[in-house]
Chains A and B, each alone.
Chain A
Amino acid sequence: MSIYGLVYKDVDQVKGPLVIMRGVPGVAYEEAVRIYSESGREWFGRVLEAGRDKIVIQVLGDTEGLDSNAMVKFTGSTLKMPVSDEMLGRVFNGAGEPIDGGPRIRADDYRDINGAPINPAKRDYPDEFIETGLSSIDGMLSLIRGQKLPIFSESGLPHNEVAAQIARQVVVPGKAERFSIVFAAIGLKYDDVLFFRRQFEEFGALSRSVLFLNLADDPVIERITTPRVALTAAEYLAFDLGMDVLVIITDMTNYCEALRELSSAREEVPSRKGYPGYMYSDLASIYERAGRIIGRPGSITFMPILTMPGGDLTHPIPDLTGYITEGQIFLDLDLYNRGIYPPINVLPSLSRLMKDGIGQGKTREDHKEVSDQLYAAYSQGTKARELVQIVGEAGLSPREKLYLKFARRFENEFVAQGFRERRSIEETLDIAWNILSILPESEFTRISEKTLDKYHPKKRAEAKIKGE
């Protein structure tokens, strides 16, 4: 083994993923380091604390075989990764190294994997509708180009299928070019990774995809870098090369658990359920990398997937995520058990950017009002359903019975659709009107008379007869 340059042998202690050293002059905070064991193994790391008397290093990869005889070399710069268009079609690990047997990337540039915050004054406001072909999303939770919209799921639910279907079907209406896909797996099982690969392959997306894989048996600490490396690639594709990039990262819950592990190794004071108090800011430094920038053609649309421990929406992971992202798509066990695919429960779901991306000239003028009315009616319907549990269907008032019927049709005809079924926004809105039309007109509290006259199926039919 030959190690060039200055190395230090002042390691005091190895504690989990942390190496603690006595002071070394000239070490910078966040500097990248290489560590070598006597047996010749090599690790990457970064400086977490730089002091005159003490240095703490976070090591990537598992630290087996690392002890106080290790030699540490400081690289003089922060952790960077090479970027270029050669990343497309390639597979990397969570540290950004190729694992598909192909050559190293010839770098156009080296980028800090932590990125830098986008100046809010230089962001371009996302207001373009993206059609996913799924009625519940397009109709009621519209995805906007440059939005960060996570999927909140539970283990056992088909979030992978939903994400893959979206990746297959998404288009910006009127734009020929398809989305490039940056996919990152964090602590995933090999089967799940294989599923995504097959899907991308099947719909011919592999050549416009970049994959970053950290599997369940890969080093936990690399789960911290995986999303950062993936977003560094995405930023390059979007803001340097001008592509529309869809970033799918799954499972962010594994990321948060790795963060908790690291935090407890550092003996930090925990906040709720042992997660570190800075988890909000840490997640924000990842999620906020989505968006659009004034004067640059590309965009990053970000769809992280996370599984809610115990299906609990108030658990710190979904909770902090929801406070940062621009809404959430909530998958529901109850719907799934009733055989509804995709099992999207629209009530706790939200797309915050929807309002500016829909309507006349974008989707259809009635879109907003239809969506509002669907929400109001479906929530009445679910209330009626809860009541059935207590008083039976016979105990319902006629109005409640009607809403119960509405909820059933809404779930079976609007929300439910095939894994390979793609609906246009027109089709989606027409289905909505069909279901809404079982309600009497006095119930249309969120739809204006003008819209009602133009789009209500009954009125449309009347107008047609009159016209003939």
Chain B
Amino acid sequence: MSELIYEKGVIVHIKGPVVEADEMRGARIREVVYVGEEKLIGEIVRIKGDRAIIQVYEPTGGVKAGEYVERTGEPLSAELGPGLLGLVLDGLGRPLEVVAEKAGGPFIIRGIKVPTLPRDKRWHWSPTVRVGDGVIAGDVLGVVPEGSITHKVMLPPKIEKARVLEVQPEGDYTIEEPIAVVEHIGEKKEVKMYHKWPVRNPRPFREKLAPVELLVTGQRVIDTFFPIVKGGASAVPGGFGTGKTVALYQISKWADADVVVYVGCGERGNEITYLLHTFPELIDPKSGRPLLERSILIANTSNMPVPAREASIFMGITYAEYYRDMGLNVVLTADSTSRWAEALRELSSRLEEIPSERGYPAYLPDYIASFYERAGRVKVMGNRDELGSVAVIGAVSPSGGDLNEPVTQHTMRFVGAFWALDKELAFKRHFPSINWLRSFSKYAGGLKEWWIKNSGYDMMSYRDKAIALLQRSSSLEEVARVVGEAALSDENRLILLSAELIKESFLVQNAYHDIDSYCSPEKQALLLRTLLEFYDRAKPMIDAGVPMSEISEMKSLGDLRRLKFVPEEKFKDTAKEVISQLETEISSLIAKVG
């Protein structure tokens, strides 16, 4: 775009990723610069007179005072166009495969400049406008097939209103070839299949709407107890090893979304490698194509430069908004937003700002909000009645597992669902270790109709029943911890047993089990209903005087416990069978004492 030659500044000080440069008059905050002889990528974060403070996104070892800083005149931007799906990018949007090629080896070297989107690839373009058409920002000019979706090439937001002067006929084009020429305020403008967008600015939409539709994740404790909706926001806080990453994997795999953006932000290298090993082989049930084709992976692992970690989340949410603008449902998962906030803390501390709680800057809440508030269900731009959504799910890694730290506390204010992971449950290998007493979802109330319509069951009434049972059981457990389970009445021990059944056989869900890994809403509803029947039907046994020791060793109990492993297609019949066996067993036990 702007090939303006800017003057160069001169480096006066280097301290880790923070570089100070002089002779930078006219530079703007958030402008991208190239630092030193190797032209390392940086962004201006502060300006004082002629001096600029630059956050450098690559290691600065070897950079000297006196070297130049080149200005670009542009803010940090994402390239948006066909070809994003299936890519693995670093925090600045560089494809890691291409970086490896350029580096000539498996280690990341610096100073590599590669565009996000492939320039030589041809896309099959079909125009949907004609010469003479009036168009506004967001209008679809044509489409190209990309992975599992139809990619809509839209008039970029910066061109509010224009008239089509030329449009390319159907055919194969690269993203650098203009596919249309439009007239915008008396000026001719070429439109390509891609454009750039500054990552720190939310992309525009016509109207934000209340999110109302369940985002099916196939994870029972989430969908049933603490649901998230399309366009919603949720946080997953938990100490190490409590299951944050696996929860995000599961959602990335199974969520009924059109596009998934996974941001690995300051976490493990092997976790990205794992996705790269599994996603190409997993098939998306909706499109029948490999999951990788609906995904964008951003990997800025813990050992990669910290400032790029800060940028990676904004890069990811910009990609998500772009696909939303096509009228798609997008899910963004970020692991971990704490590492992202820490990157901000590190920068703030190097800038010698006055620290607030635990060393985080006072503007931490605004910063967290600037991410979560980009989630939403919207009426998209352009002259069409289409809805799109971005749901955001962020892992939070509180230090010492203590949820009273600033990042968790501030995050809680901006999300509609909160899945508090519990170390005690994780130690027992009760996964997902979502604590049912400390988690919440503000979306649950609005989903009653959804469940009835989509699963055929009044799931929310089962949910209320199950929660009541779990709550009673947890207060009884408190008592049992003091007096021992043996001292409780049989009636109370039945409550413990029934709650245990809900925990073991509904809440526990093994991500690595072929069948258990995903559970459809219908199966969830029927499973919960069946498990709840145990309590209702077992109660008469207590009244009849059947001893607890016999109830807890009933054969049907074993069948109920294993019910979740029954495949979807056989589930309805098996559940019926199990209930009828339960009935028979109960009558014979009652007959024995009676």
CB of B368, distance to nearest CB on chain A (Å) = 17
A343 to B400 Cα, complex, angstroms:
23
* B481 contact from A51, A355, A387, Cβ within 8 A: A387
Asked whether A120 is an interface residue with its Cβ less than 8 Å from the other chain, the reply is: yes
A375–B428 touching, CB < 8 Å: yes
* A30 contact from B62, B99, B274, B401, Cβ within 8 A: B62
Contact string against A for B residues 15-45, beta-carbon threshold 8 Å, 1 for contact and 0 otherwise: 1100010000000000000000000000000
* A125 contact from B277, B349, B401, Cβ within 8 A: B277
Contacts of A48 in B (CB 8 A): 15
B241–A277 touching, CB < 8 Å: no
B241–A278 touching, CB < 8 Å: no
A288–B268 touching, CB < 8 Å: yes
B399–A51 touching, CB < 8 Å: no
Contact string against B for A residues 199-223, beta-carbon threshold 8 Å, 1 for contact and 0 otherwise: 0000000000000000000000000
B66–A352 touching, CB < 8 Å: no
A50-B14, A281-B306, A355-B512 known; A28-B64 Cβ under 8 A: yes
CB of B19, distance to nearest CB on chain A (Å) = 9
Asked whether B339 is an interface residue with its Cβ less than 8 Å from the other chain, the reply is: yes
A350 to B65 Cα, complex, angstroms:
47
A121 to B298 Cα, complex, angstroms:
11
A29-B62, A78-B61, A395-B487 known; A288-B303 Cβ under 8 A: yes
User: In chain A between 296 and 345, which residues have their CB closer than 8 angstroms to a CB of chain B?
Assistant: 296, 314-316, 319-320, 322-324, 326-328
CB of B506, distance to nearest CB on chain A (Å) = 12
Contacts of A322 in B (CB 8 A): 239-241
Which of the 9-residue segments B211-219, B282-290, B555-563 touches chain A?
B555-563
Contacts of A350 in B (CB 8 A): 241
A268 to B345 Cα, complex, angstroms:
12
Which of the 9-residue segments A82-90, A180-188, A252-260, A438-446 touches chain B?
A438-446
Contacts of A449 in B (CB 8 A): 562
Q: Which residue of B lies closest to A50 (CB)?
A: B14
Contacts of A316 in B (CB 8 A): 399-400
Number of A residues, CB within 8 Å of B: 89
Q: Which residue of B lies closest to A314 (CB)?
A: B400
A423 to B29 Cα, complex, angstroms:
63
Asked whether A68 is an interface residue with its Cβ less than 8 Å from the other chain, the reply is: no
Asked whether A376 is an interface residue with its Cβ less than 8 Å from the other chain, the reply is: yes
Contact string against B for A residues 426-454, beta-carbon threshold 8 Å, 1 for contact and 0 otherwise: 00000000000000111001001100000
Contacts of A387 in B (CB 8 A): 480-481, 484-485
A28-B63, A78-B62, A324-B268 known; A281-B481 Cβ under 8 A: no
Asked whether A26 is an interface residue with its Cβ less than 8 Å from the other chain, the reply is: yes
Asked whether A400 is an interface residue with its Cβ less than 8 Å from the other chain, the reply is: yes
* A348 contact from B13, B66, B427, Cβ within 8 A: B427
Contacts of B114 in A (CB 8 A): none
A26 to B14 Cα, complex, angstroms:
12
A123 to B428 Cα, complex, angstroms:
31
Q: Which residue of A lies closest to B110 (CB)?
A: A116
A284–B14 touching, CB < 8 Å: no
Asked whether A108 is an interface residue with its Cβ less than 8 Å from the other chain, the reply is: no
Asked whether A416 is an interface residue with its Cβ less than 8 Å from the other chain, the reply is: no
A271–B359 touching, CB < 8 Å: yes
A289 to B303 Cα, complex, angstroms:
9
A296–B106 touching, CB < 8 Å: yes
* B301 contact from A120, A277, A368, A440, Cβ within 8 A: A120
B399–A272 touching, CB < 8 Å: yes
A28-B63, A50-B64, A123-B273 known; A294-B106 Cβ under 8 A: yes
A126–B270 touching, CB < 8 Å: yes
User: In chain A between 261 and 299, which residues have their CB closer than 8 angstroms to a CB of chain B?
Assistant: 268-272, 277-278, 280-281, 284-285, 288-289, 291, 293-296
A116–B484 touching, CB < 8 Å: no
B108–A326 touching, CB < 8 Å: no
Contacts of B553 in A (CB 8 A): 440, 442
Q: Which residue of A lies closest to B423 (CB)?
A: A348
Contact string against A for B residues 83-98, beta-carbon threshold 8 Å, 1 for contact and 0 otherwise: 0000010000000110
A278 to B274 Cα, complex, angstroms:
26
B428–A376 touching, CB < 8 Å: yes
User: In chain B between 288 and 339, which residues have their CB closer than 8 angstroms to a CB of chain A?
Assistant: 299, 301-304, 306, 339
A396-B484, A445-B504 known; A23-B99 Cβ under 8 A: no
CB of B97, distance to nearest CB on chain A (Å) = 5
CB of B15, distance to nearest CB on chain A (Å) = 5
A26-B64, A29-B61, A50-B65 known; A117-B306 Cβ under 8 A: no
Contact string against A for B residues 49-79, beta-carbon threshold 8 Å, 1 for contact and 0 otherwise: 0000000000011111110000000000000
Interface core residue of B273, B306, B339, B512 (most chain A CB under 10 Å): B273
Q: Which residue of A lies closest to B352 (CB)?
A: A269
B103–A119 touching, CB < 8 Å: yes
B427–A379 touching, CB < 8 Å: yes
Contact string against B for A residues 47-82, beta-carbon threshold 8 Å, 1 for contact and 0 otherwise: 011111110000000000000000000000110000
A112 to B85 Cα, complex, angstroms:
36
A440 to B505 Cα, complex, angstroms:
18
A272 to B360 Cα, complex, angstroms:
12
Contacts of A441 in B (CB 8 A): 558
* B346 contact from A26, A123, A277, Cβ within 8 A: A277
Contacts of B358 in A (CB 8 A): 271-272
Contacts of B277 in A (CB 8 A): 125
Q: Which residue of B lies closest to A375 (CB)?
A: B429
Asked whether B437 is an interface residue with its Cβ less than 8 Å from the other chain, the reply is: no
A400 to B342 Cα, complex, angstroms:
45
A25–B65 touching, CB < 8 Å: yes
Contacts of A399 in B (CB 8 A): 552
User: In chain A between 167 and 204, which residues have their CB closer than 8 angstroms to a CB of chain B?
Assistant: none
CB of A260, distance to nearest CB on chain B (Å) = 14
A467 to B53 Cα, complex, angstroms:
80
User: In chain B between 417 and 431, which residues have their CB closer than 8 angstroms to a CB of chain A?
Assistant: 427-429
CB of A134, distance to nearest CB on chain B (Å) = 20
Asked whether B397 is an interface residue with its Cβ less than 8 Å from the other chain, the reply is: yes
B270–A28 touching, CB < 8 Å: no
A320 to B342 Cα, complex, angstroms:
13
CB of A217, distance to nearest CB on chain B (Å) = 31
Asked whether B394 is an interface residue with its Cβ less than 8 Å from the other chain, the reply is: no
User: In chain B between 168 and 189, which residues have their CB closer than 8 angstroms to a CB of chain A?
Assistant: none
B349–A277 touching, CB < 8 Å: yes
Contacts of B62 in A (CB 8 A): 28-31, 77-78
Contacts of A114 in B (CB 8 A): 61
A323 to B345 Cα, complex, angstroms:
18
A119–B106 touching, CB < 8 Å: yes
Contact string against B for A residues 105-130, beta-carbon threshold 8 Å, 1 for contact and 0 otherwise: 00000001011111111111110000
B14–A278 touching, CB < 8 Å: no
Contacts of B269 in A (CB 8 A): 117-118, 120, 123, 288, 291
Asked whether A463 is an interface residue with its Cβ less than 8 Å from the other chain, the reply is: no
Contacts of A328 in B (CB 8 A): 241
CB of B552, distance to nearest CB on chain A (Å) = 7
Q: Which residue of A lies closest to B18 (CB)?
A: A49
* B266 contact from A271, A281, A327, Cβ within 8 A: A281
A320 to B487 Cα, complex, angstroms:
43
Asked whether B468 is an interface residue with its Cβ less than 8 Å from the other chain, the reply is: no
Q: Which residue of A lies closest to B511 (CB)?
A: A355
A353 to B271 Cα, complex, angstroms:
10
Residues of chain A whose beta carbon lies under 8 Å from any beta carbon of chain B: 23, 25-31, 48-54, 77-78, 112, 114-126, 239, 268-272, 277-278, 280-281, 284-285, 288-289, 291, 293-296, 314-316, 319-320, 322-324, 326-328, 347-348, 350, 352-353, 355-356, 368, 372, 375-376, 379, 386-387, 390-391, 395-400, 440-442, 445, 448-449
Extra 17 A-B pairs, beta carbons < 8 Å, given A119-B96, A285-B302: A50-B13, A54-B13, A112-B61, A117-B108, A117-B303, A119-B107, A120-B276, A120-B299, A121-B88, A121-B273, A125-B276, A268-B349, A280-B342, A375-B429, A391-B486, A395-B483, A400-B485
Q: Can you list 11 A-B contacts (CB < 8 A)?
A: A25-B66, A29-B62, A49-B15, A116-B109, A121-B100, A125-B273, A126-B270, A239-B106, A271-B358, A324-B268, A347-B428
